[in-house]
Amino acid sequence: MTARILDGRRVADALLDELKVRVDARVAAGRSRPGLAVVLVGSDPASAVYVRNKRRAAEKVGIEAFDYDLPAGTSEAQILALIDRLNADPKIHGILVQLPLPGIPDASGLIRRIDPRKDVDGFHPENVGHLALRQFGLRPCTPRGIMTLLAHTDRPVRGRNATIVGVSNHVGRPMALELLIAGCTVTSCHKFTPREVLEARVRDADILVVAVGRPGIVPGEWVKPGAVVIDVGINRLDDGRLVGDVGYEAAAQQASWITPVPGGVGPMTVATLMQNTLEAAAAAQTFT
């Protein structure tokens, strides 16, 4: 078996085209254009690339991006003050603070300061709590984007065994909630999972989501024949190549569908951010 490629760029482009139609209709009806505040602190090259992609996506769908590029020495108190202003600004429907933040290892206080109704990343505890209670609101972008990808396969989700490798607050944990809601039997693996148990859970998975940030942590030979493999990891090797967390070549011989790295999950995260922003604007019922 050779896996079919689950092309995140293609699915994301289709979603962005759909969102543009909805934004244009919203504006034509006399309602305010959705506004997204993008806060970038410092000049980390990777963060700059991510933010640039998000700003381009906003422009493509007609969302107005408000850029706040702050120097690396910006204090947490200064960022909190900016968030307070953005929370109160009716032109802003979504607030994105690009992580990680230089000099601020724990951004939880900043995330909690964002109005949950404007938390388009879906990281606020209130929004994660809504997801846990099966009350869909602003959902974490990467897991929601993955669910959209899964809907573009010919494989069922309900009743399947799903294994998630990685339990981060932004991907692994909300991913488990998404798959539970979709009717999967979910196993989460983490740093305390013995290697032999990890292998067994991977081999049993009809849906495998790996989000660790360690190249090759899951050998492709472990993948169950016919499984859907979602590789969230993106790692740069010494030779400059970008690879995921799953051994791609071997996995592609086992899986029915597999996401490429790059071009799989990343574009869906960006497109879903735009989806959340439009939904936040719709919920705000703001008129010009």
| CATH number of the domain enclosing 111 | 3.40.50.10860
Q: Quick one: average pLDDT of 248-265? A: 98
Q: Distance between CA atoms of 143 and 233, rounded to whole angstroms? A: 13
Provide the pLDDT confidence category of residue 288 given band limits of 50, 70 and 90. Answer: very low
* pLDDT at 287 (0 to 100): 41
In this structure, are 157 and 87 located in the same domain?
no
Please tell me whether 232 is known to bind a ligand. Answer: no
Q: Quick one: average pLDDT of 101-123? A: 97
In this structure, are 236 and 174 located in the same domain?
yes
Judge whether 285 lies within some domain.
no
In this structure, are 169 and 104 located in the same domain?
no
In this structure, are 48 and 164 located in the same domain?
no
Contact 232, 166 (CB under 8 A): yes
Q: What is the largest CA-CA distance in the chain?
A: 59
Contacts of 37 (CB under 8 A, 6+ apart): 65, 66, 68, 86, 89, 92, 94, 95, 96
In this structure, are 111 and 159 located in the same domain?
no
In this structure, are 85 and 163 located in the same domain?
no
Q: Where are the alpha helices (DSSP H) in 187-257?
A: 195-203, 248-252
Bridge partner residues of 242 (DSSP): 236
Please tell me whether 234 is known to bind a ligand. Answer: yes
Alpha-carbon dihedral of residues 91, 64, 125, 162, nearest 10 degrees?
Answer: 150
* Counted domains in the chain: 2
Give the residue among 114, 111, 162, 171 at the shortest CA–CA distance from 141. 171
Whole-angstrom Cα Rg for the chain: 19
Here the tokens at position 164 are: 């998630």
Q: Quick one: average pLDDT of 157-183? A: 98
Query: With 60 as the cut, is the pLDDT of residue 34 above it?
Result: yes
CB count, 10 Å around CB of 282?
14
H helix count then E strand count, the chain: 10, 11
Q: What is the CATH number of the domain that holds 239?
A: 3.40.50.720
Judge whether 274 lies within some domain.
no
Q: Distance between CA atoms of 229 and 263, rounded to whole angstroms? A: 14
In this structure, are 145 and 251 located in the same domain?
yes
Q: Distance between CA atoms of 100 and 98, rounded to whole angstroms? A: 6
**What are the pLDDT digits (tens) for 215-250?**
999 999 999 999 999 999 999 999 999 999 999 999
Query: With 60 as the cut, is the pLDDT of residue 149 above it?
Result: yes
- Which domain range does residue 255 map to? 141-265
Query: With 90 as the cut, is the pLDDT of residue 7 above it?
Result: yes
Contact 223, 251 (CB under 8 A): yes
Please tell me whether 43 is known to bind a ligand. Answer: no
Provide the pLDDT confidence category of residue 211 given band limits of 50, 70 and 90. Answer: very high
**What are the pLDDT digits (tens) for 54-98?**
999 999 999 999 999 999 999 999 999 999 999 999 999 999 999
Please tell me whether 108 is known to bind a ligand. Answer: no
- Which residues are catalytically annotated? 54, 98, 121
